[in-house]
Amino acid sequence: MLDRFIQQAVMQVLQGRWDATFSEHSHGFRPRRSAHQAVAQAQQYIAEGKRWVVDLDLEKFFDRVNHDKLMAAMARRVNDKRMLKLLRAFLESGVMENGLVSPVEEGTPQGGPLSPLLSNLVLDELDRELERRQHRFVRYADDCNIYVASERAGKRVMYSLTRFIRRRLKLKVNEAKSAVARPQERKFLGFSFTGRAKRRIAPKALLRCKRRVRELTRRTRGISLKQMMKELASYLRGWKGYFGFCETPSVLQRMDQWIRRRLRSVIWKQRKRRASWRLADSPVLHAAFPIAYFDALGLPRLFAG
């Protein structure tokens, strides 16, 4: 706890000094910047005609940050040797597994308050290289997308940046998860884009939401309907707060309908009735448990139309 307290204090001081020096294309873990801003910037590039994306995924980034490279970058910004010694101690503090501490030679403090700031410092060199090449790009932590006009240009950028990242940053691009593709074929921070450059929720994000709703509404959890609704409402409000940024309201409307059908099925099962899922979409159960019924239970609507 003391280490975390000190890391938080160091982070607040350093972030106040460093943040203004970072690239305007960097959005992750920075004051007054958000994932929504990053997605909107990507959308703007696509609307401007950059219809191909170089989607870079850095392999185990937080575990593989080179300590010497990171310390050199900090030494260029920090003159106090005591502070540098403290930062080095945090980097080399080790990892505890099963009660044993193992030394580490690379990576940032796992889950530490300093890690996001240090990651931005490491990748600032990548940002500056992309700016020097005059690329249209957006980065959120270790998730970086570069938008180009053609597939050929994208493959050329992918090849050259992979070499740059390996040689200069001492990091590795995950080739299995990286690709040159149309933006609508990739996801960025949980979003994707339509052919007309509208923001839409990535399919995997929708599947994760449905999986979580199923977990929260399992009849075998042994909790009351009131408690179930309370937990579900809390999750859905957070989910809507983020994914409500999409520009495809029909998706939210269909999700609303699916959630209410799921709940009608759960209520019907609790009354020990059969064929609950099929009947949950019947006019009878729609009339018995209308939208207003779920509104009264505190279930938020994802689609407000």
**What was the pLDDT predicted at 280?**
82
**pTM for the structure as a whole:** 0.87
- Lowest-pLDDT range of 72-76, 105-109, 217-221: 105-109
The mean predicted confidence, pLDDT, of the chain is 90
Q: Is the pLDDT of residue 243 over 90?
A: yes
Q: How many Å separate Cα 245 from the centre of its chain?
A: 14
Q: Is the pLDDT of residue 68 over 60?
A: yes
**What was the pLDDT predicted at 81?**
92
Q: Please state, for a pLDDT cut of 70, what percent of the chain lies above it.
A: 93
Distances 154 to 40, 148, 179, 231 between C-alpha atoms, Å? 21, 6, 9, 44
**What was the pLDDT predicted at 108?**
73
Distances 21 to 42, 249, 263, 277, 287 between C-alpha atoms, Å? 22, 38, 50, 56, 59
**What was the pLDDT predicted at 104?**
59
Tell me the pLDDT tens digit for each residue of 188-240. 999 999 999 999 999 999 999 999 999 999 988 888 888 999 999 999 999 99
Q: Is the pLDDT of residue 110 over 80?
A: no
